[in-house]
Structure 1
Amino acid sequence: METECFTVSVFAAYTGVSIRTLHYYEEKGLMNPKRDRMTGHRMYDKDDAIRLHQIVTMKFLGLPLKEIKSYIQSDNLDIRFKDTLRLQETKLKEERERIDIALEAIQRTTYLIEKEQEINSNLLFSLISGMQSEKQQKEMAKPIMKDDVLSKLFDAAITEKGSGSCFNFSKR
């Protein structure tokens, strides 16, 4: 019984992965498609689709290709894979926290710009820099400030942080 094979272009269209990516995965030893005896062209089958699905899934989890290669070469995933997933989970949580901080900084900055219309660029970038380090400042203040004061200072809504200030951010 002969298995159904696909050319690289058909396989790429079928899987939604670019031809260049398929070639790259082959270069990196992640994929090993068969070759047509007559033309030498790459031919992909069902097993290649399964392998590609594994690669894409692990890429989605954020694993680097080097680690993916070692995992797909073994038939069973062990405790090492679990540890890798836990490490990746930690990295992704840290990245999410960084993104959340950046999003809040953007929201607060656009709010300030809307309220003030014009802000000195040096002062604006200084404020954004302060927003970046706000979490560390809160952690340092915890032992010496009451919780309600910390909350008012650091957990205020964007509109509360940017409004009613005694600062005039406009250019002079």
Structure 2
Amino acid sequence: MMLSSACVGRSLEPVTGWQCAASSNSPGSDPPTSQHQQAQRHGLEQPLPPFRLWPATAQVALRTGVYIGLFGLATFCLPGATFGVLFDSRLVTEGWVRVGGVLATLFGWYYVGAALDDAAGRTPRCFYSATTSGRLFLSVAFAGLVAAKQCEPALLWLAAANLVSSLTMWRAVRQRVHAERHHVTGADS
């Protein structure tokens, strides 16, 4: 499925995942414009700016991707040592811990890809919106599992990390939307 420029563009106007899915190119819809395709090709050919010049959203996404990916790789390669830091590793088989490590690595990869797109000028705003709300849900769900005594209290560390990261991304997106609106309209706020 290829997303239209309505979802992957320079603007960060808040959207929902449903709006992105509705605006994506499905069979029978118009293909991306040649201008859109040229912009994508142009963005891929340009070197990325130095990290300090990346948008805050891209910086947050890259940091998130790196820590999730490294945690996933460590959990996959050393399941007992990594998982055992927070949890009783006797409660879950090593194979399932490694499955979690693979998934975390994959999620980290997604964040890194989104950050690189953002740094190249192709803002993945639907991804950012989905991860912000998704990680907020994850935090609440983890806290609920601990409150229901179905999981160890150490899970609250992961809930807190996801909550902080979600709010950091939300703040970066809001600041960027404000800056873009201010830049486009020239209005004071």
**Smaller-chain TM-score bracket:** under 0.3
**Structure with the largest fraction of strand:** 1
Higher relative contact order (CA 8 A, sep 6+): 2
- Choose 1 or 2 for highest CA Rg: 1
Q: Please give the TM-score of this superposition, normalised by the length of structure 1.
A: 0.25
**Structure with the largest fraction of helix:** 2
